[in-house]
Amino acid sequence: MTTELPRRVAVLSVHTSPTEQPGTGDAGGMNVYVAQTAIRMARRGVEVEIFTRATSSEQPPTVELAPGVTVRFVAAGPFEGLGKDDLPAQLCAFTAGVLRAEARHDPGWYDVVHSHYWLSGQVGWLARDRWGVPLVHTAHTLAKVKNAALAAGDTPEPRVRLIGEDQVVAEADRLVANTEIEAKQLIELYDADPRRTVTIPPGVDTDRFRPGDRAAARAALDLPHDAVVLAFVGRIQRLKAPDVLLRAAAELLARTPSLRDRLVVLVAGGPSGSGLAEPTSLQELAAELGVTDVVRFLPPRGGDELVTVYRAADVVAVPSHNESFGLVALEAQACGTPVVATRVGGLPVAVADGRSGLLVSGHDISDWADALGELALDPARCERMAGVAAGHARRFSWDRTTDALLGAYDEARAEFRAREGGRR
């Protein structure tokens, strides 16, 4: 069956722009997802317009992310100083900006609305009704799941989000889950309609993220060629649990003091979410644990600089308390670097346990030290896993993700037309 491609798609990403650098603020895997799928839709002849909130008076009204992909910055509330939890109060203003943009065109300008995260879903729900086109929604994270797996001391997701997610799930014409686990959570926790829920795994850019020269990567980062390198990449917040890596590193040093001469722990990322209230907490923890001399903090990195970090590491740690998928795990494996990750959310899909990396149940520091040591201190095993990791990552591609999304759009449009036609 041939997929009927939409002419034009409105993508809503209220709280974070695909033009932002992942790894700090609210920018992360969702930014990568939105950008990569939009670019690939445009290559197939579909025009994509991405609406996001303006965060600076210096931002132009629009920028071209890639040929056929336009990012529109919508003024909604103060440009700066608003956190994600402040944005529900600005959804009316944001929606008005989106509707005004569409009103400048002839009716039927957009064929599909695709919202990312619950804030965007609230806007998409109204746009869907105003424009008479289907709403496709990707949650990326779910409040009920996050609240069930909170890190110690972390703040639960607010009631307004719980209510908002329930509303979006009830209204969306298609719900896109990253994994079968997430689809099941939508159905069981949010009473989603199984017939409107589809599973489409994210991808990885294997043209960029691929195995390379480890020695060159270490030289670029001024690391000893024979170092034992553990890495964390991502936002510095309790949800992502970078503290687990530091504590596990301290445990490894307690077990083998001579390792201190070779161990390097790379932490690449910036404060985000709950981490903004304690921007130096990880540095303070390193001092408290006595590992400051082996830990190197790097600013958020993208492109080839990020590839260099992955290639330089013996193992990349993904100790999150919750991940809807875990793009960092895929990117690291695509670079030929095994991953040690928590057995939560989509990580058991992203990581082939025992073959491309290891999964750890929970956050017991002894268990994490065991897993990291099993790989990083066993070069032969690490090397075997490296080849498998790259092959495993190649099973996921943004082209496959995009094709599946376009298929979901087509099904949603056909059902929407049939339903709305029957009401007339």
User: In the numeric block, which tokens belong to residue 180?
Assistant: 């079968």
pLDDT of 222 above 90:
yes
Give me the chain's average pLDDT, please. Answer: 92
For 331-347, write each residue's pLDDT tens digit.
Answer: 999 999 999 999 998 99
Annotated binding site for UDP-N-acetyl-alpha-D-glucosamine: 21-22, 29, 235, 240, 301, 323, 331
Number of domains, the chain: 2
DSSP structure string for 23-62: TSTT-SHHHHHHHHHHHHHHHTT-EEEEEEE---TTS-SE
Asked if 137 and 194 sit in the same domain, the reply is yes
**Is 1 contained in some domain?**
no
Tell me if 414 sits within 8 A of 138, measured CB to CB.
Answer: no
Asked if 51 and 105 sit in the same domain, the reply is yes
Asked if 230 and 316 sit in the same domain, the reply is yes
* Domain at 223, CATH number: 3.40.50.2000
Asked if 387 and 294 sit in the same domain, the reply is yes
Annotated binding site: 15, 21-22, 26-31, 84, 117, 141, 161, 235, 240, 301, 310-311, 313, 323, 331, 337
User: In the numeric block, which tokens belong to residue 149?
Assistant: 């797996």
Asked if 405 and 383 sit in the same domain, the reply is no
**Is 108 contained in some domain?**
yes
Asked if 289 and 239 sit in the same domain, the reply is yes
Tell me which residue range forms the domain holding 298. Answer: 214-394
Annotated binding site for 1D-myo-inositol 3-phosphate: 15, 26-31, 84, 117, 141, 161
Asked if 174 and 242 sit in the same domain, the reply is no
Through-space distance between the first and last CA atoms of the chain, rounded to whole angstroms: 28
**Is 422 contained in some domain?**
no
For 248-288, write each residue's pLDDT tens digit.
Answer: 999 999 999 999 999 999 999 887 554 444 568 899 999 99
Asked if 228 and 180 sit in the same domain, the reply is no
Q: How far apart are CA 169 and CA 165, in angstroms?
A: 6
**Is 420 contained in some domain?**
no
**Who's near 43: CB < 8 A, 6+ residues apart?**
68
For 293-352, write each residue's pLDDT tens digit.
Answer: 999 999 888 889 999 999 999 999 999 998 988 899 999 999 999 999 999 989 999 999
Q: Give the model's pLDDT for residue 275.
A: 44
pLDDT of 24 above 60:
no
Residue 188: pLDDT band with limits 50, 70, 90: very high
Annotated binding site for Mg(2+): 310-311, 313, 337
